Amino acid sequence: MEATPNNRAEPRFERRKEARPSEILDAALDLFVERGFAATRLEDVAQRAGVSKGTVYLYFDSKEDLFKAVIRSGIVRAIEDAEQRVERFDGAAADLLRTLVAGWWDAIGSTRHSGIPKLMISEAQNFPELARFYNAEVIQRGSGLFARAVQRGIDRGEFRPVDVDYTVRALVSPLIMRSILQHSFLACAGPEDFDVPAYFAHTVDLVLNGLRAAPAGR
């Protein structure tokens, strides 16, 4: 029978107008951070988002697919924005490093996404495919941003020649450790009398003092 305006199948993209993907992603992020990946169920995500489980499947084929979407919509998007800033940045390499660290705190460290590093460290071995995804999409790309800034400083003579990889690890490790503490020990220890941006600025300053090239003639 030929479809009529009243009985034809509704196109998939029209059905999706009634769904709420942003609410699903927000609910999934909250539950992944609260419970971990293994303990989070799609039906719990649906309930938290206020939709049916079937609605979740309109957008995501599996819990793994949903998790990747959470990472891409939050952390990866922040990295993409930072990549664009690096491309446009025309100042000193030291200022670029400060911008990257401050940007990480604003976009990730001070947000709900800060719980993801702890989740990945605790569950990576049980979900190696997700670990490989996270390594490629987040760790490698994020570290690459800092590596480009350090290498820029070396190439311009602002920094002395150093091992770029080790330098990046020295810069990034305090950021990751702060995220882990936020969702472990500090979550149980009560309010923290601690200026996190000032701490990161101090960390960058310590690294920069070790990076700076000696003045000519010394």
pLDDT-above-70 percentage for the chain: 89
Q: Which of 5 and 26 is assigned the larger pLDDT?
A: 26
CATH number of the domain where residue 186 is located = 1.10.357.10
Distance CA 170, CA 141 (A): 16
- Does residue 127 form part of some domain? yes
Distance CA 155, CA 138 (A): 26
Domain final position from 12, 29, 60: 60
Q: Compute the 3-state secondary structure of the chain and give helix, strand, coil in percent, each to the nearest 5.
A: 75, 0, 25
**pLDDT value of position 13:** 38
Sign of CA dihedral 68, 69, 75, 79: positive
The answer to whether 79 and 100 are in contact (CB under 8 A) is: no
- Does residue 179 form part of some domain? yes
Domain that holds residue 25: 1-60
In terms of domains, do 157 and 79 share one? yes
- Does residue 218 form part of some domain? no
- Does residue 216 form part of some domain? no
**pLDDT value of position 17:** 46
**pLDDT value of position 216:** 60
Confidence category of residue 194, pLDDT binned at 50, 70, 90: confident
Mean pLDDT across the chain? 89
**pLDDT value of position 183:** 87
In terms of domains, do 43 and 98 share one? no
The answer to whether 174 and 200 are in contact (CB under 8 A) is: yes
pLDDT at position 53 over 70: yes
In terms of domains, do 51 and 78 share one? no
Convert the pLDDT of each residue in 133-177 to its tens digit: 999 999 999 999 999 999 999 999 999 999 999 999 999 999 999
Confidence category of residue 185, pLDDT binned at 50, 70, 90: confident
Q: What is the DSSP letter of 213?
A: P
| Entry pTM | 0.84
Convert the pLDDT of each residue in 95-135 to its tens digit: 999 999 999 999 999 999 999 999 999 999 999 999 999 99
pLDDT-above-90 percentage for the chain: 78
In terms of domains, do 86 and 133 share one? yes
CB atoms within 10 A of CB 217: 4
pLDDT at position 7 over 60: no
In terms of domains, do 155 and 204 share one? yes
CB contact set of 114 (below 8 Å; sequence gap of 6+): 108, 179, 182, 183
pLDDT at position 18 over 90: no
In terms of domains, do 40 and 81 share one? no
CATH number of the domain where residue 47 is located = 1.10.10.60
Domain final position from 39, 60, 81: 60
- Does residue 122 form part of some domain? yes
The answer to whether 101 and 204 are in contact (CB under 8 A) is: yes
**pLDDT value of position 34:** 95
pLDDT at position 4 over 50: no
Confidence category of residue 187, pLDDT binned at 50, 70, 90: confident
| Number of compact structural domains in the chain | 2
Confidence category of residue 218, pLDDT binned at 50, 70, 90: low
